[in-house]
Structure 1
């Protein structure tokens, strides 16, 4: 990661946006989670964003840039905590890092935001966990791309808080019909809400 960041700065002379999107999805309860698997989740979901934010800090300060981390809003519903707490702690760790880093850098002009889908998104990870049925009840990744673009390009409009859902962002831009994002158009009325959104 350090080498990639250095190469980016050398090639482009600066950095405007840092997006932490890589992650590891693990939906096992604590009693069934191997230490090696938890270490991988922690390394990708929590440790890596800390390293990239720290390593990009000076460049982002110069550009008054934006950090966008893909992690959920904090939801302490006991059901979600009990379902797969090892994964949850690593993703919430990323959220807490984001909230704390925003407070740390608020006088520098850097904006730190988090983004999470309100529904399942048709990704390889969802396909692995939920299969074809899950993909059929998902939205296209385009909705996340559109929301991410808005958070970065119109960040003053979203200055009120750190954590956002894709639907919230696009709703503030006037979007009311999300059916165009359905991965399977015929299932647009039956999209599955994502992890951590609402009650378990």
Structure 2
């Protein structure tokens, strides 16, 4: 089942599908932590600029991998009403998860930005890279965070995606590049031999 050795290998495979964007001097964005190694390889191949995009998934309390929504920098909030309805999450449960994730988002901004300002997105070709999409909720939120900053073009690039996530995110981005969309996606981690949780230190080193 493992399609990629690790996130770096996935990034190299993804970069090969993005060569048409090299001339645009793109801004390559990776959501920490898992998206950053993939984005770093895409940036290495295409040039342009590399930065992080901070987005937090709002996981269903008893099934945290399942996204019922997401938060982004600048107060952006996207909800997946279908998941909320299907799982029966109550308003106060959603609010509790949201409080926790908002605090974690603020912590990550401090830890990972290290006082650096985000690279401006206005007028740029922005390539939003992650290690995969399961529901698409986090990536949809990320797209809205980027859209609010007026890029010339927004491209989403992932090594693996579910059919549903690809369809949802295709409505948010100008282009979605994904080399592998299996008919059934058990989980993004299954696509990788090595899918370890990255530490903040690994992320800041890659950005360094």
**Higher gyration radius (CA):** 1
- The structure in which a higher percent of residues are helix is 1
Same-fold call, TM cutoff 0.5: no
Normalized against structure 1, the TM-score is what?
0.28
Q: TM-score, normalised by structure 2?
A: 0.28
Larger strand percent = 2
**Higher relative contact order, chain-length normalized (CA < 8 Å, sep 6+):** 2
